[in-house]
Amino acid sequence: MEIKDSYELPLPKERVWAALNDEQFLKKSIPWCEKLERRSETELAAEVKLKIGPMSTRFTGNITLSDIDPPNGYTITGSGKGGIAGAASGSARVKLIEDKDTLSTTLSYEVSAQVKGKIAQLGSRLIQSTAKKLSKNFFGSFVKQLEDMDKS
């Protein structure tokens, strides 16, 4: 399963990169994130309450940053356990490309996601759509926050 998309931001690359490394920004972007704490340079602890249709499960897990190439991109990986419901993980390769003439940046991402356990059995027909929706939520609200900040 592969999910790809990109956004264009009217901001220099360094600004976008700084936001990608700011846990406050990330917390507001991760859908239903209830807790996000930085453990180290590359590790954060997260608690997410995922609600999809009739399912409602609290996941606790880690977010790790790897393949870090400032300010051009990184891979952000989240993995969590939802108790008896199973486990879910997803990673997104994020790339920033700057257009020097307009000083705008294109943020592109490629997501892959896996689920295990009961969620996988019950929700198999929905996993792709859900992963797509969550990715869109994450990057959509990330981009919106940046744009709002730029305006104010």
Measured from the CB atom, the residue of 6 and 124 that comes closer to another protein is 124
Neighbours of 111 (CB within 10 A): 22
Taking the C-alpha atoms of residue 61 and residue 78, their distance in angstroms, rounded to an integer, is 7
Among positions 129, 144, 149, 150, the unique one binding another protein when judged by CB under 8 A: 129
Q: What is the CA radius of gyration of the chain?
A: 16
Counting contacts by CB under 8 A, is residue 119 touching another protein?
A: yes
Task: Spell out the long-range contacts of 74-80 with Cβ–Cβ below 8 A and sequence spacing 24 or more.
Answer: 74/20, 76/20, 78/30, 78/46, 80/46, 80/48
Which residue stretch of 5-13, 17-25, 63-71, 118-126 sits at the interface with another protein (rule: CB under 8 A)? 118-126
Give me the least distance between CB of 38 and another protein, in Å please.
29
Among positions 26, 130, 135, 142, the unique one binding another protein when judged by CB under 8 A: 130
Taking the C-alpha atoms of residue 120 and residue 113, their distance in angstroms, rounded to an integer, is 11
Among positions 40, 41, 54, 151, the unique one binding another protein when judged by CB under 8 A: 54
Contacts of 23 (CB under 8 A, 6+ apart): 36, 37, 38, 44
Among positions 81, 89, 118, 141, the unique one binding another protein when judged by CB under 8 A: 118
Give me the least distance between CB of 138 and another protein, in Å please.
15
Which residue stretch of 18-26, 35-43, 73-81, 129-137 sits at the interface with another protein (rule: CB under 8 A)? 129-137
